[in-house]
Amino acid sequence: MQAPMKQDLSERALGFLLLLPAALLLLVIVVYPIATLFWNSLHGVDNANVAAGEQFVGLRNYQTASRTSASGRRPGHTIMYIVVTVPGSLLVGLGLALLANMPFKVKWPVRLGLLLPWALHSCFAGLIFRWFFEYRHGGGQPTR
């Protein structure tokens, strides 16, 4: 009888192990920049006196931003934008997905019509960047 080389991981431990890279990536790409942004928002910089460096000002930056008239209206505009666009996008997307799965005799024109705009912007972006970095005529300079 052979001795087991390694003990098998439980399903729960395996799940955590498999989610660890995604969690680390999320921390690096999302959480760290947001935390740094918040930390920087609690500090003030005097551009006239660079030698003074950053000074901790607490919530004073947020108080100043909330007192200005233009900033006071922005949260309402953002909330209205979210309330209108998120359900609207969801309903339009759901309707188009249901249309693409309707029992047509020939489905490919409907699906092509839905997927073509999604794919073409990447192709056009690639062509534009190719034009920008073209060494003879790139950068928007006219050809001679």
pLDDT of 54 reads 79
pLDDT of 137 reads 65
| Angle, helices 69-100/108-132, rounded to nearest 10 degrees | 130
In 3-state terms the chain splits into helix, strand, coil percentages (rounded to 5) of 70, 5, 25
pLDDT of 63 reads 84
pLDDT of 29 reads 95
Eight-state DSSP code of residue 31: I
Q: What is the pLDDT of residues 16-59, one digit of tens each?
A: 999 999 999 999 999 999 999 999 889 887 777 767 677 888 88
pTM of the model: 0.45
pLDDT of 104 reads 80
Rg (CA), the chain: 27
Burial class (CB in 10 A: 0-12, 13-18, 19+), 130: exposed
Contacts 24+ apart (CB under 8 A), 98-105: none
Residue 54, strand partner residues: 45
Q: What is the pLDDT of residues 84-141, one digit of tens each?
A: 999 999 999 899 888 888 888 888 888 888 888 888 888 888 888 888 787 676 555 5
pLDDT of 36 reads 93
